[in-house]
Amino acid sequence: MYNAGMQGSKPRTPYHEFYADDFTPRDHYRLLWNHIKATGNSALEAKAHESQLALQAEGVTFTVYGESEEGIERIWPFDLIPRIITAAEWVKIESGLKQRVRALNLFLGDLYGEQRIIKDGVIPPELIYQGRDFRREIVGIVPPGGIYTHVSGIDIIRDEKGEFLILEDNLRTPSGVSYMIENRVIERRILPEFFSKYRVRRVEHYPSLLLAALRSLSPRGKDTAEIVLLTPGIYNSAYFEHTFLAKEMGVELAEGRDMVVVNDVVYLKTTTGLQRVDVIYRRIDDDFLDPLVFRSDSSLGIAGVINAWRAGNVAIVNAPGSGIADDKAVYPYVPDIIRYYLGQEPILQNVPTFQMTNAADREYVFDNMERMVIKAVSESGGYGMLMGPSSTPASRKEFMGLVQENPRNYIAQPVVYLSRHVCYMDGELEARHLDLRPYVIYGEDIEVVPGGLTRVALRKGSLVVNSSQGGGSKDTWVLAE
């Protein structure tokens, strides 16, 4: 499917976000650069220390799962030097994301409805019918407003030419938004003077945007909206975020066992009796949502909630079944999906992708594994992935076997050398690779919060930014016009 520019490519230089060349910063970083030069490393050290204390005091943590079953809770790794995105750059990102999210929602409505896109031969049926996240149980149910993904976190990277590319659509239960906000809180504290100088746009209103979107979905109208954030519980890696968002929005945080469905109405069990629930912002996967319909061995969900949803008595955010649209095997078709539903050219491009179901693609990937990233289509968070440049012969052999066993389950992409940025690491300014996850809320309209979570690969030369794999983060400044 993609071949151009691959053969015999020489080592490429990643784009540098901060420096235009070895000696000069890009224009929008000059103010910050001057300040760093003037105050020196000792001032940076003091700021770094201050940010560490603040993160500890706020209890901003995340959980890492390793070989052992038990997760380890760590303080959120924060780098104090902000990543800055100009107004002009943001215009493109924002319009590209809106376009993409609109098209993906039309796609979901079509898949769970008439399936015109399959009948018209744009999407091969195998892709959908062999996709783990195509949920037959919800076919024919139309969610309020026809919207499935009220919250998306879409990963964007910048290639060697400085072009923004979409890496992944996260449309299930994307996490990280609490860190976007915490990063901002800390940064305001340690670099207060720059916010007005730079005219940085706000991100702290995210919880109120989300709350408004959730309210707008209430079957009893937005003025009587009882909202619950459904968490799998304290052992989940994103539990910090669940408590954070529930608190910020002023909604109940609950587990499945705290709720009950009675004759198609969902209730929260409270000390004063059953209280009707109108909107569930769920942070558990479809598989665990309703043991009556999906995995029967799950005790995390609410039995009967899908029938309550079908009856129109409760809204579920994001809608069940959304996962088929961010299946990594569907990803290569997103540009066609945009053209099909909107009649527009995609504003933001995909990373070139090889489909392992295609024999020629597969052979090419096997011949070039050291330059490829191979990903399992239904995994996220950097799990189930082979990074070619750092892989061993044994791991390459293992992945070759896995791909041959189940080609539908894998895709491959040429390694993109993510753009770099300066980070303050142990007393030195060093370059590290990073990406960006902006958050898109689809309520009565689509809004992209100006900013996002910039994730940094803390290990030198590493291209893996996931916090579960040892990534860090930066505050992301989107500048006003």
Partner 1 sequence: MRYLIEHETILDYPQTVREHHIELRLAPRSDRHQQVLSCSIETEPAAELATYTDYFGNRVDYFCVIPPHTRLITRLRSDVETVKENPFSFEAVQPGEEQEWLHKAIRNAPPMNDFVLHRSLLTPTAMKLAEATSHAFPRREKERPVLESLQELLAWVPTVMEYRSGSTEVHGSLTTAVAQGGGVCQDFAHLFITVARSWEIPARYVMGYLDPGISQAGDTLTTHAWAEALVPGAGWIGFDATHNLLTNDHYVAVAVGRDSYDAAPQRGSFKGEASGAQPAVSVTMQEQQ
Distance of closest approach, residue 296 Cβ to partner 1, in angstroms: 6
| Per-residue binding letters, 128-167, with partner 1 (x by CB under 8 A) | xxx-----xx-xx---------------------------
- State the Cα–Cα distance between residues 439 and 447, nearest whole angstrom: 8
Q: One symbol per residue from 233 to 272: x for binding partner 1 (CB under 8 A), - otherwise; what is it?
A: ------------------------x--xxxxx--------
What is each CA distance from 434 to 394, 410, 457, 476, in whole angstroms?
28, 24, 6, 11
Among 126, 163, 345, 367, binds partner 1 (CB under 8 A): 126
Q: For the beta carbon of residue 43, count every other beta carbon within 10 angstroms.
A: 12
Min dist CB 245 to partner 1, Å, is: 27
In whole angstroms, the minimum distance from the beta carbon of 309 to partner 1 comes to 11
- Distance between CA 360 and CA 388 in Å, rounded? 19
DSSP state string for 114-143? T-HHHHTTSS-HHHHHT-TT--GGGTT---
The footprint of partner 1 on this chain (CB under 8 A) covers a number of residues equal to 26
Residues 6+ apart with CB under 8 A from 475: 78, 82, 83, 183, 184, 186, 187, 454
Only one of the segments 30-38, 124-132, 160-168, 182-190 lies at the binding site for partner 1 (rule: CB under 8 A); that segment is 124-132
Chain centroid, CA 251 distance in Å: 23
Q: How many residues does the chain have?
A: 481
**CB 255 to partner 1: min, Å:** 13
The reply to whether 113 sits near partner 1 by the rule CB under 8 A is no
For residues 230 and 465, which CB has a smaller minimum distance to partner 1 in the complex? 230
Is the CB of 11 or the CB of 273 nearer to partner 1?
273
Looking at 61, 275, 307, 349, which residue binds partner 1 (CB under 8 A)?
307
Nearer to partner 1, 177 or 302 (CB): 302
Please answer whether residues 152 and 322 qualify as being in contact, where contact means their C-beta atoms are separated by less than 8 angstroms.
Answer: no
What CA–CA distance (Å, rounded) separates 118 from 97? 24
Q: Does 336 bind partner 1 (CB under 8 A)?
A: no
- Comparing C-alpha atoms, which of 292, 220, 219, 302 is closest to residue 254? 302
- Residues lying near partner 1 in the complex (CB under 8 A) are found at 115, 118-119, 125-126, 128-130, 136-137, 139-140, 257, 260-264, 291-292, 296, 303-304, 307, 310-311
